[in-house]
Amino acid sequence: MQILSPSEATQARESLGMSQAHVARAVGLNRSYLSQFEGGKRVLEDRWQTALREYFSGEGWESAQVIKMPPGSTKSLPAASPFATIDGFVIAAHIEPDEAEALLEEYYIAGDLMELMADTNLELGFFGEISLKSAFWQSGQYIALAVRQLQIIRILRGQEAASTTPITKEGQLKTLGHVYGYIAFLGGNIDNSITQSS
């Protein structure tokens, strides 16, 4: 087995235009482990090394990729774009890589929570009818998550300033910002129906 160094893993991921969250999900590894590995703070087991190398190879990456110019060529490489792409999302040049990773992870968490909500059964009333309050509450939470995903995309593109309303894996909001203001008005947080179904 050929060992994948932290710098090779970072180079492979970045050359393929992928976030740590995307790669970690694809191979089944915790994103923080991948981040620590890329930072040289953790050694990965052989199975994760193999999974990463196979994933990167399957996506078209070859180790030690070098751009070779023909001998005597005077052409220069094209100028760098002010935008980059990660996981298919356009990232503005002023967004720091760590900030982009955190926003993309939050985007994926919101998507997971939305999937859980879609699979959650609505409360039924005494006669078997769907509780209007429950349906309204759940749809409000779903819409808030969708709005947050849209806001994350706008932040990544540089169209909006970053917000301080991250979504946690536990499904709770750490703070309520302007996006979630109407949820606060309704009087609750997002964890009740979601975490019980997981």
Give SS3 for 176.
Answer: coil
Residue 59: is its pLDDT beyond 70? Answer: yes
CB contact set of 165 (below 8 Å; sequence gap of 6+): 148, 173, 174, 175, 176, 177, 179, 180
Q: Contact at 8 Å (CB) between 38 and 6?
A: yes
Q: Residue 15 corresponds to which tokens in the numbers above?
A: 């050359």
Segment 25-48 shows an average pLDDT of 86
Nearest to 95 by CA among 106, 84, 87: 84
The predicted-structure confidence for 119-168, as pLDDT tens digits, reads as follows 877 777 777 777 777 778 788 888 999 999 999 888 888 877 765 555 55
Question: Could you give the domains of the chain?
Answer: 6-58 (1.10.260.40), 83-197 (no CATH)
Strand partners, 92: 83
Residue that is written with structure tokens 């030690």 in the block:
64
The larger pLDDT score, comparing residue 8 to residue 127, is at 8
Q: Which of 69, 74, 92, 72 is nearest to 82 (CA)?
A: 92
Q: How far apart are CA 106 and CA 103, in angstroms?
A: 5
Report yes or no on whether pTM surpasses 0.75. Answer: no
> Per-residue pLDDT averaged across 21-27, rounded?
90
93-120 pLDDT tens trace? 788 888 888 898 899 999 888 888 888 7
Mean pLDDT of the chain: 73
Q: Is the torsion defined by CA of 128, 133, 136, 140 positive or negative?
A: negative
Angle at CA of residue 173, ends 171 and 176, nearest 5°: 155
